[in-house]
Structure 1
Amino acid sequence: MPSLSAPVLQFDEPQLKHINDKLAAMEPQQILEWASTTFAQLFQETAFGPSGNVITDILHAQGISVPVIFVDTLHHFDETLDLARRSQERYGFNLHVFRPEGCETRQEFIAKYGDELWKHDDVVYDYTVKVEPARRAYEQLKACAVITGRRRSQKGDRASMQVVEIEKGTGLVKINPLANWSFQQVWTYLRANEVPYNTLLDQGYKSVGDYHSTRPVKEGEDERAGRWAGQEKTECGLHKDYFAMRTAFLARKKKEQEQQQAISPLTAPVA
């Protein structure tokens, strides 16, 4: 498990408000230029969704070199992994891949955690495949700021986000250059600039996550309606309170251990 050391807080609240007031009226190209000249340890964090692909293309067009963090949950669609390869080949960015701790393949994950962990305990699953690997990435790479593809038009917890946010408790700066864009603007940019994108978009998907919890979006549905359909959930944990997620994870693990200890005397062989 990564340490809990945090990057130095870059801005106080008045400064952050001032920055967001200025950036709110800027185009993504200007926001990314500001970010690249403001932060020495700047990374793009992406799962190669449509918004992330737009950001990668804009950075490349501006000649801005930003290394990429990709959290491979070991449960991505094959199409997503193929896109990661194609994107790296086209743009030549430095790619840092982080997977669940102690696992390099889906088979190793199943051997360690069992099959369909997301069904049995989605809190443990989200922390194990996304939150912990991402935190480990920030720690190992000494990231002080990450660029994300989040947009307000995706609704849910993202509807009220700012262009620049500071992660509670850690001080990590998150920059959202497409905060004001709609999905249509993203799609128009992808097609106009011949940007590589996930072929699942041609099959009705708009937001692509793990294969087991993503479906195509129906006509009239919100963009992220295909993620965790039927659940009261809009985020996987990457953009939630890290310490709250970690506390929930540790509580679940403790409960699981207590249950196992309670069962073991009953199943022990009689001498």
Structure 2
Amino acid sequence: MPSFASPVLQFDESQLKHINDKLDSMTPQQILDWVSVTFSGLYQETAFGPSGNAITDMLSAQGNTVPVIFVDTLHHFDETLELARRSQQKYNFKLHVFKPEGCDTRDQFTAKHGDELWKNDDVVYDYSVKVEPARRAYETLNVQAVITGRRKSQKGDRASLQVVEIEKGTGLVKINPLANWSFQQVWTYLRANEVPYNDLLDKGYKSIGDFHSTLPVKEGADERSGRWQGSEKTECGLHKDYFAMRAAFAARKKKEQQESAVATLTSPVA
């Protein structure tokens, strides 16, 4: 079971509300300045989406060197992996890549989990490609606070997002400096500052995840409407309750083991 370091600063509910009330009126750059001097064990966690790219550029412009965590699900678009290389080359941040446990390639993942796990069991898939690698990153790097690119305008579970959140049960601090920005504000920033961005944005994509569950969106459609079409999902699990995700994963694996054992006992002897 992963162990979690306590954050440098621990806030009760009233203190956290006071902090968020203050930060809510600040610019993303001001928030990042505050974060950089407030927390140690600080990392940016990004899959190199538009918001994450804008944050990386803002940090670089401020001279703040924040290391980056990239969870490589082994199912990213080639364009995403290429952007990760371009971004690291331009901004020269320390990049920490974490992949699903025991897998370095997509073929290895398929050999271990079978074809199209995201269709057959999305709970096991989300936990295996996102949740477990991220938790391993936090533990390995002694992460105490992470900067994310989540925004309220992305709707779904993010509509009530706060600038600073503390994850229940783990104490991990999540900072969302672009919480109050729209997609258009992010896009304007990227273009105005010549920030590297995913080539798929020019092909109608806005929110870019794994290749098998990401589609372009129609003009005027919700930004994340191209993710997980046909399902009720709005998050991949990375920003859901960690302990609930882990319990669901354990329950699914236990059920699989029981079904496998029954099948073995009832199969005819050759």
Q: TM-score range by the shorter chain?
A: over 0.9
Deviation at 1:5, TM superposition (A): 3.1
Does residue 59 in structure 1 map to residue 48 in structure 2?
no
* d(CA) in 1 for partners of 2:86, 2:268: 53
Q: Note if 1:251 corresponds to 2:251.
A: yes
Does structure 2 conserve the Cα–Cα contact (< 8 Å) formed by 1:7 and 1:143?
Answer: no
The C-alpha deviation readout for 1:32-74, integer Å capped at 9, x for no partner, is: 0100000111000000000000000000000000000000000
SS at match of 2:15: helix
**2: CA distance, partners of 1:185 / 1:5:** 35
Compute the TM-score of the two structures, normalised by the length of structure 1.
Answer: 0.97
Contact preservation (8 Å) 2:29, 2:58: yes
Alignment match, 2:68:
68
Question: How far did 1:219 drift?
Answer: 2.0
RMSD: 1.0
Alignment pair present for 1:98 and 2:111:
no
Q: CA deviation at 1:15?
A: 1.0
By how many angstroms is 1:6 displaced? 4.2
Q: Distance in 1 between matches of 2:136 and 2:190?
A: 31
| 1:143 and 2:150 matched | no
- Identity of counterpart residues, as a percentage? 76
Instruction: Find the aligned partners of 1:102 and 1:199 in 2 and give their Cα distance.
Output: 30
| Whole-angstrom distance in 2 between the partners of 1:225 and 1:5 | 34
Tell me, in whole angstroms, the C-alpha distance in 2 between the residues paired with 1:118 and 1:268.
31
Equivalent residue, structure 1, for 2:224:
224
- Paired residues in the alignment total 269
Give structure 2 stretches of 5+ with no counterpart. Answer: none
Q: Label 1:41 to 1:6 Cα distance change in 2 as closer, same or farther (>3 A).
A: closer
Partner secondary structure for residue 29 of structure 2 = helix
Q: What are the equivalent positions in structure 2 for 1:12-51 lying under 5 Å apart?
A: 12-51=12-51
Cα distance in 2 for residues equivalent to 1:146 and 1:262: 44
- SS of the residue corresponding to residue 43 of structure 2 reads strand
Aligned to 2:3: 4
**Aligned mates of 1:183, 1:23 — CA distance in 2:** 20
Report the secondary structure of 1:146's partner residue.
strand
What is the rounded CA distance, in whole Å, between the counterparts of 1:211 and 1:48 in structure 2?
A: 14
The answer on whether the counterparts of 1:44 and 1:146 sit within 8 Å (CA) in structure 2 is yes
Deviating 4+ runs (over 3 angstroms)? none
| Shift, 1:268, TM fit | 5.2
> Is the Cα–Cα contact under 8 Å of residues 4 and 171 in structure 2 kept in the other structure?
no
Whether 1:162 and 2:162 are equivalent positions in the alignment is: yes
The question of whether the paired residues in 1 share the 8 Å contact of 2:5 and 2:143 is answered with no
Return the offset for 1:116. 0.4
- Mapped partners of 1:10, 1:72: distance in 2: 30
Which stretch of structure 1 is more off in the superposition, 186-195 or 6-15? Answer: 6-15
Work out whether residues 157 and 234 of structure 2, in 8 Å CA contact, stay in contact via their aligned partners in 1: yes
Equivalent in the alignment of 1:127 = 127
State the SS of the aligned residue for 1:103.
coil
Instruction: Tell me what 1:87 maps to.
Output: 87
